[in-house]
Structure 1
Amino acid sequence: MEKYQLTLNNVWKYIKEVFSEVEVAYLPPHGNNIRSTYGREYERSMRLADGLRQMGVGPGDRVATLDWNTIWHFDLYWAVPGMGAVLHPLNVRLAPEDLVYIINHARDKVLIYHRDFAPLVEKLKPHLKSVQLYIQISDGAGPVAKDPEIEDIIKQGQPKPFPDLNEDTVATIGYTSGTTGRPKGAYFTHRALVLHTLTSAVAFAGFRGFARPECAEEPCTFLQLVPMFHVHGWGTPWTFALLGWRQIYPGRFDPNHTVRLIAEEKVKTMAGVPTVLYMLLTAPDLPKYVAKIREIKPIFVVGGAALPKELAKKAAEVGFIPRVGYGMTETAPILTLGFFRPTEKMPQDLDEYYSLLTATGLPIPLVDLAVVDENLNPVPKDGKTMGEIVVRSPWVTPEYLGDSEKTKEAWRGGWFHTGDVAVWMPDGRVRIVDRAKDVIKSGGEWISSLQLEDLIATHPAVAQAAVIGVPHEKWGERPVAVVVPKPGAMVTEQEIIKHLEKFVESGKIPKWWLPDKVIFVQQLPLTGTGKIDKKVLKEQYKDILRQS
C-alpha cells in the first residue's frame, strides 16, 4: 500500500473542504480590516506559492519573514511549506546583529518583511550574504521601498494545487532567543508539525479546562495573540484552523485594541506570555470591557514563563480563565498543558486551587516526559525533589542546525534536555521551579527564583518582580529581588522582606532564601519573546552585593 503522507498540505486541503466558509479576519489597530474565509485564503496561498515559484523560489529554499500577526503571515504559514520550501519566521524584537547572524546562519534565500521594518531591512541588506529576493508586505498603505509587493505576487500567481510532498520534508526552522549565547537553529518536518497540530487539537477540543463545548454549535473565535515569529505562534494558526474555529489576526500588539477585540469579537481562547496578560490587565481601556469579558469567559493560555498565582487571580477577577502551557523553541512547542483529569476533584482551598492551576501541567499525548537527576534517574514524585525535565516526542527537533556539539549535549542519554528545573508531583504533574541557568545556587543548595517572585508578587504594592542570583564571596550566589511597584504605590525594601518573612514563619520557604537586597525599578527588561530578561539584570547588578 502507498503510505499516506502526513503533510501540512493535506491538513490545509481538509480545512478548505470542510471549513471553507469559516471566517479568518485581519483586524489591526490601524489600517483596513480584512474579513476573509479559509476557502479564500486557501486559494490565495496557492497563488502565493505559484508567484514565489515564478520568482525563482524552489523546494528546500529558505524563506524568512519579518512580520506581525497579519493575514499575509497566515498565508505564508501554508504557502511556503506547501510548495516544499522552508518557512523561517524571524523574531522582530531581536537586535539587528542577531538578525544578521540568524539569516546568514540559516542561509535564507528570501526575506519577506512588513513595511514597518523597511528601515531595518535597508540597514540589514549590506550584511546579508544569502538573501537574493526581498518582498514587502505593504499592508494596504503602499510600499515604502522598491522591493516587490506580496499582493502583486499573489495576483500574478495561479491557483495551482500544492505538490505531493514527503512527510519528512523540512517545513520550518526557528531560532532560540539566544539568552545564553548565540541563537541556535532548530528545524521541523511536515510530519512533526502535523502530529503536533493533531495532538494540540485533541487537547484544546477535548481536555477538561481547555475544551469549549459551546463551540460544537457554532464556530468559536481564537485570537492569535502569540507572535507568529515565536515558535510557530505556538502552533495555534494550524491547530485552530483544523478545529474549524474562526480566527482573528490583530496585527501589531496593542493592549487597548486587544481588550476591545476580545469583547467585540467574542474571543473564546487566546494565548501569550505572562507579560502580555499583565499588559491586558493594566490596559487603560480594560474597565470599559470588563462586563463583556466576564460574560464571554475567554481562556487565556499562559506559556513562555511561569504564571504567578497573583497574576492568575487578577485575570480570573476580570473574567479570564487562566490556563498554563509549557514548551520551548526546540519542541515546536507544546509539551504540557494545565488540564484536569475527568475524575479530578478541584481543591476547595483557594490557595491549593491556584497552586494546581498554575502548575506546569501534564504531558499532552505523544510526549514522553520525565524529571531526572544528573544520572538520568527519575526523581521521586514527592513535589520536593528537584530535577531536570527531559522529553521525547515526534515533534522535538532532532538537532541544532550546524552544531553537532550542542546537539550531542542536548540529546545525551537519548532524551532531549530542556534545561528546566522542576519537581514531580504525586499526581504526575510537573511544576517548573526555575531554568537551570536561573536557579540560584547558594552554599551548595538551590533557591527557586520563580517561587520567590511568586511570593513577592502577592504584596499589594508590587506589579512585577524578578529574582536573580548575584555573585557572593561566601555563598557563591545570593538572591537579589528587582521589583516594579504598582503605579502610585509606595513600598520599601524592609516592607518586602517583612512580607516574605510571613512565608518563612508559615513554613513555605526557609529563612536563608530571603533576598540580600531589594531593588526598585520602573520597568524590567524583556527578551524578544516578552519574557523578563534575567541575563540583562544579572549583568547590571553583578557587583551590587560587593558594593554593599
Structure 2
Amino acid sequence: MERYNLTLNKIWEYVKEINGDVEVAHLPPHGNNIRSTYAREYERTLRLADGLRRLGIGPRDKVATMDWNTIWHFDLYWAVPGMGAILHPLNVRLAPEDLVYIINHAGDKALVYHRDFAPLVEKIRPHLKTVQIYIQISDGAGAVGKDPEIEDVIKSGEPRPFPDLSEDTIATIGYTSGTTGKPKGAYFTHRALTLHTMSSALMFSVARGFARPECAEEVCTFLQLVPMFHVHGWGTPWTFALMGWRQVYPGRFDPNHVVKLIAEERVKSLAGVPTMLYMLLTAPEFPKYVNKIREVKPIFVVGGAALPKELAKRAAEAGFIPRVGYGLTETAPVLTLGYFRPTEKLPQDVEEYYSVLTATGLPIPFVDLVVADENLNPVPRDGKTMGEIIVKAPWVTPEYLGDPEKTRESFRGGWFRTGDVAVWYPDGRLRIVDRAKDVIKSGGEWISSLQLEDLIATHPAVAQVAVIGVPHEKWGERPVAVVILKPGAAATEQDIINHLQKFVDAGKIPKWWLPDKVIFVNQLPLTGTGKIDKKVLREQFKNALK
C-alpha cells in the first residue's frame, strides 16, 4: 500500500471541507476589519502559493515573515509549507543585528513584512545576503516603498492545488531568542507539525480543565494573542482550525483593544506569556469589560514563563480560567499542559489548588518526558529532588541548524535536554523550579528563583518581581530581588524580607534562601518573547553585593 503522508496540507483540506463556513476574522486596533471564512482563506492560500511561485519561490526555498497576528500571517502559515517551501517567522522584538544574523544564517530567499516594519527592513536590507524577494503587507493602509504588496501577489495567482508532499519535507524553521549566545536554528517537518497539531487539538478538545463542553454544540472563538512569530504561535493557528473553532486575529498587541475583543467577540480561549496576562488585567479599559469577560469565562493558557500564583488568582477573580502550558522553541513547542486526570480530586484548600493549577502539568500524547540527573537517570518522584527535564517527541527538532557543537550539548542518548530544572511528583506532574541558567547556586546548593518570585509576588504592594543570582565572594552567588511596586503602593526592602520570613517560619523555604538585597525599579527588561530578561538584570546588578 502506498504510504499516506502526514502533511499540513491534509489538515488544511479537511478544514476547508468540514469547517469551511466557519469565520476567520482580522480585527486590528486600527479598524481594517476583515471577516472571512476558512473556505475563502483556503482558496486565497492556493492563489498566494501560486503567486509566490511566479515570483521565483520554489520547493525548499525559505520565506521569512515579519508580521503581527494578521490574517495574511495566517495565510502564510498554510501557503508556504503547502507549496513545499519553508516558513520562517522572525521574532520582530529582536535587535536588528540578531535579525540580520538569523536571516543570513537561515539563507532566507524571500522576506514578507508588515508595513509597520518598513523602516526596519530598509535599515537591514543592505546587510541581507540571500534575500532576493521582498513583499509587503500593507494591511489596508497603503504600501510603503516599491516592494510588491501581498494582495497583488494573491491576485496574480491561480487557485492551483497544493502538490503532494513527503511528510519528511521541512515545513518551518525558527530560532531561539539568543538569551545565551547567538540564536540557534531549529527545523520541523510536516509530519512533526501534523502530529503536534493533532495531539494539541485532542487535548484542547477533551482534556479536563481545557475542554469547553459547550463548544461541541456551538462554534466557539479562539483569539490569537500569542505572537505568531514565537514558535508557530504555539501551534494554535493550525490547532484551532482543525478543531473547527472561529479564529480572531487582533493585529499588533494592544491590551485595551484585546480586552474589548475578548468581551465583544465572546472569546472562549486564548494564550500568552504571563506579562501579556498582567497587561490585560491592568489595562485602563479592562474595568469596562470585566463583567462580560466574567460571563464568557475565557481560558487563558500561560506559557513561556512560570505562572505566579497571585497572577493566577487575580486572573480568576477577573473571570479568566487560568491554565498552564510548557514547551520550547526546539519542541514546536507544546510538551505539557496543566490538565487534570478524569478521576483526579482537586484540592479543596485554595493554596493547594493554586499550587496544582500553576504546576507545569502533565505530558500530552506522544511526549516522553523525564526529570533526570546529570547521568540521565530519573530523579525520585518526591516533589523535592531537582533534575533537568529531558524529552523525546515526534516534534522535537533533530538538531540545531549548522551548529554541531550545540547539537552535541543538547542531544544526548536520544533525549533532548531542555535546560529546565524541575521537581517531579508521584502522579507524574512536574513543576519547573528554574532555568538551568537562572537557578541560583549558593554554597554548592540550588535556590529556585521562581519559587522566591512566587512568594514575593504575594506581598500586596508587589506588581512584578524577578529574582537573580548575583556574584558573591564567599557563597559564589546570592539571590537579589528586583521589584516593581503597584501604583500608589509603598514597601521597603525590610518589608519584603519580613514578608518572606513568614514563609521561612512556616517551613516553606529555608532561611538561607532569603535575598541579600531587594532593589526597587520602575520597569523590568523583557526579551523578544515578552519574558523578563534576567541576563540583562544580572549584568545591570552584577556589583549589587560588592
Fold shared by both chains (TM-score > 0.5): yes
- Separation in structure 1 between the aligned mates of residue 425 and residue 178 of structure 2, nearest angstrom: 31
Distance (Å, rounded) in 1 between the aligned partners of 2:410 and 2:439: 19
Matched, 1:522 2:522: yes
Q: Does 1:137 align with 2:137?
A: yes
Amino acid at match of 2:347: P
Q: Deviations over 1:72-104 (max 9, x none)?
A: 000000000000000000000000000000000
2:297 is equivalent to residue 297 of structure 1? yes
How far apart are the structure 1 equivalents of 2:354 and 2:413? 35
- 2:102 corresponds in structure 1 to 102
DSSP 3-state at the match of 2:471: strand
- Residue number in structure 2 paired with 1:500: 500
Q: Which residue of 1 aligns with 2:49?
A: 49
Specify the alignment match of 1:62 in structure 2: 62
Whole-Å Cα distance in 1 between the matches of residues 52 and 156 of structure 2? 10
Give yes or no for contact 1:109–1:132 (8 Å, CA) kept in 2: yes
Structure 1 letter corresponding to 2:276: V
Native 8 Å contact 1:410 1:417 kept in 2: yes
What is the letter of the counterpart of residue 95 of structure 1?
Answer: A
- Show the counterpart of 2:417: 417
Q: 1:84-483 alignment to 2 at 5 Å?
A: 84-483=84-483
Deviation at 1:149, TM superposition (A): 0.5
Whichever residue aligns with residue 480 of structure 1, its letter is V
**Alignment partners' CA distance in 2, 1:32 and 1:98:** 31
In structure 2, C-alpha distance between the alignment counterparts of 1:539 and 1:122, rounded to whole Å: 31
Percent identical among aligned pairs is 82
Whichever residue aligns with residue 355 of structure 1, its letter is S
State the AA in 2 paired with 1:72.
W
For residues 52 and 450 of structure 2, what CA distance do their matches in structure 1 show? Answer: 46
CA distance in 2, matches of 1:204, 1:465: 31
Q: TM-score, normalised by structure 2?
A: 1.00
CA contact 1:175–1:183 (8 Å) conserved in 2: yes
Per the alignment, in what secondary structure is the counterpart of residue 52 of structure 1? Answer: helix
TM-score (norm 1): 0.99
Report the Cα offset of residue 413 of structure 1. Answer: 2.0
1:376 Cα deviation (Å)?
0.8
Whether the 8 Å contact between 1:262 and 1:293 is mirrored in structure 2 is yes
User: Shift in Å at residue 31 of structure 1?
Assistant: 3.1
Residue 413 of structure 2 aligns to a residue whose secondary structure is helix
Find the residue that maps to 2:166 and give its secondary structure.
Answer: coil
Q: Secondary structure at the match of 1:544?
A: coil
Query: How far apart, in 1, do the equivalents of 2:119 and 2:256 lie?
Result: 27
CA deviations on 1:36-66 (whole Å, 9 max, x unpaired) are 0000000000000000000000000000000
Q: How does 1:68-83 map to 2 (within 5 A)?
A: 68-83=68-83
SS in 2 for 1:545: coil
Letter aligned with residue 381 of structure 1: R
CA distance in 2, matches of 1:32, 1:117: 18
- The letter of the residue matching 1:353 is Y
Deviation sequence 1:239-293 (CA, Å, 0-9, x none): 0000000000000000000000000000000000000000001011111111111
- Residue identity matched to 2:407: T
1:513 matched to 2:522? The reply is no
How big is the shift at 1:369?
0.1
Give ranges in structure 2 of 5+ residues lacking alignment. none
- Aligned position for 2:15: 15
Q: 1:6 corresponds to which residue?
A: 6
1:326-368 C-alpha deviation (Å, 9 max, x unpaired): 0000000000000000000110000000000000000000000
Distance of 2:443 and 2:220 partners within structure 1 = 52
Per the alignment, residue 26 of structure 1 pairs with: 26
Alignment of 1:528-539 (within 5 A): 528-539=528-539
* AA of the residue aligned to 1:179: T
Preserved contact between residue 22 and residue 38 of structure 1 (Cα < 8 Å): yes
**C-alpha displacement at 1:32, in angstroms?**
1.2
**Runs of 4+ displaced beyond 3 Å:** none
**What do the CA deviations read for 1:355-410 (whole angstroms, capped 9, x no partner)?**
00000000000000000000111000000000000000000000000011111111
Distance 2:347 2:537 in 1: 37
Aligned 8 A contact 1:224 1:271 in 2: yes
Asked whether the 8 Å contact 1:339–1:361 carries over to 2, the reply is yes
Task: Give the secondary structure class of the aligned counterpart of 1:305.
Answer: coil
Query: Paired residue for 2:40?
Result: 40
The one-letter code matched in structure 1 to 2:453 is E
Letter in 2 for 1:213: P
Residue pair 1:31, 1:140 contacting (<8 A) in 2 also: no
Matched to 2:38, the amino acid is Y
* C-alpha RMSD of the superposition: 0.4
